[in-house]
Structure formats: structure tokens, C-alpha cells
Amino acid sequence: MKALVKGMQANIPLAISAMAYGGVFGVLSANHGVSWAEMLAMDLLMFAGSAQLVMIEMWSSPIPVFAVGLAVLIINIRYLLIGASLQPVFDGRPLWKKVLCMHLVADENWAVTIAAHRDGGASPAFLVGGGLLLVTAWTAATLSGNLLGGLVMEPRRWGLDFAFIAIFAALTLSLWQGRDDFLPWLVAAGLAVAGERLLPGKLYIALGGVGGALTAVILEMVKVRKHVAIDDKGCNGMIQSGVEEN
């Protein structure tokens, strides 16, 4: 229970931010013809802000179900990498607990949990605590914005849609660990920009994410091999010295 409360407390600033841009999102959804009931179902069943934004962008009558589903799938592919990065947090837990916890994982509480784990460890309860707070704040804000959406005409004219870019930029910068991150981030950004111009739909998101992740994996493998080679060289030197002394 303590871990659950700590997770909530650690995510309070992000929950406040989520309420701010969640309200903006609700306004945008209302201007696209999304009802409050559809908004509520989207929040509880999906709970993925970036994917929900794309759904709203593509919302029309009739709804292009296949195109929307494909776009959401591509955007949420990143949760494969997010889930993999949470393996140390979920270590030893049964599959059903992992599945339930993952439904409450958002970019925000994932980033906070990873940071907490690096500073001494974080439990699934810590992650869930943050997720519960965020989903509550997000749902309250999006529903409020949706119900009041008719009062704000052309929200993009006021730059309200920039709230999403701002929060994800802040989250990204909070995950920076030093110069070792530079090349993977550069590759991810380069591939995403190129993919946005050359590929259809939202494939550029998956391309950037996978490309950056693979770059990080390759760099880590190279680093490990170097350490192994240095250790082998040191062992061989010690053995050689021992032989010479004998």
C-alpha cells in the first residue's frame, strides 16, 4: 500500500499536466463530433493519449475503422519496448499481474517508475499507483473538456494542440542520461523525420522508435564485447606473468 501511495505522490506533477492537456484534448474531441460516452470509453479501454489524439484526428462519419486501428497499432507498438524496459520491475510476478499493470502504463508513470528504479528500485505497486492517478486525472479532464468543447471554437487557432508536444518533449528530456544516449536519439529522430516524409500514415513513429532502440542495443553489445576483450587480455597477461615467474 505504501508503494501505491508513493507512486501516486511521485506522479502528482504529471497528473496536473495531464489534466491541462487532457482538457485541451477533450475540447478537440468535441469539435470532431466525439460524444462524452465515446470519450469515456476511449479513456478507460485505451488510455493512451497519443493514440487517442490520432483517433480524433481521423474521426469522421463513417469512421475508417481499419485505418484508425492500424494507426493506433503503429503508435502503440512502442509499448512493446516500454514493457521490455519494465522487466526488472515486474521480475518474478505472474503473467496476469503484468497484463493488468500494463493497462495502466502511460508514458508519464513509466518514465517516473524507470527513474525511481534507477535510484534504488520500484515495485509494480508504485507503477500502478501512478497509473491510477493519471487515468483518473486524464478521464476527468477529457470529459470536462469534451462537455465544454462547444464553447471553444477552432482550438488550434489558439495553439491549444501544442500542449501534447510540450509534455512529450519534457518527458523525453527527463529520460536523458548522458552522451551515450546521443546516437540512439539522433538515429530515432532522423528515421522519424525521413519516415514522416516518405512513408504513409503513422509508420514513421514505429520506424523511429525501433531504429533508435536497435541502435542502443548495438552500442550496448559493442560496449560489452570491449569489456570482455579487456578482461580476457588482463587474464591472459596475469597467466603469462605467472608462467614467466615459474
* 91-108: pLDDT as tens digits: 888 888 888 888 888 888
Please tell me the pTM assigned to this model: 0.67
Provide the sign of the torsion angle of the four alpha carbons 74, 55, 95, 130, taken in this order.
positive
How far apart CA 216 and CA 213 sit, in angstroms, is 5
Bigger pLDDT: 67 or 214? 214
CA distance 95 to 155: 42
Q: In the predicted model, what is the mean pLDDT of the chain? A: 79
State pLDDT tens for residues 126-179: 889 999 999 999 999 999 988 887 666 565 666 665 665 665 666 566 567 677
Reference 174, options 14, 18, 20, 16; nearest CA is 14
Q: What is the pLDDT of residue 210?
A: 80
Specify the pLDDT at position 143.
Answer: 93
Residue ranges covered by each domain of the chain: 2-175, 177-246
Helix (H, G, I), strand (E, B) or coil at 221: helix
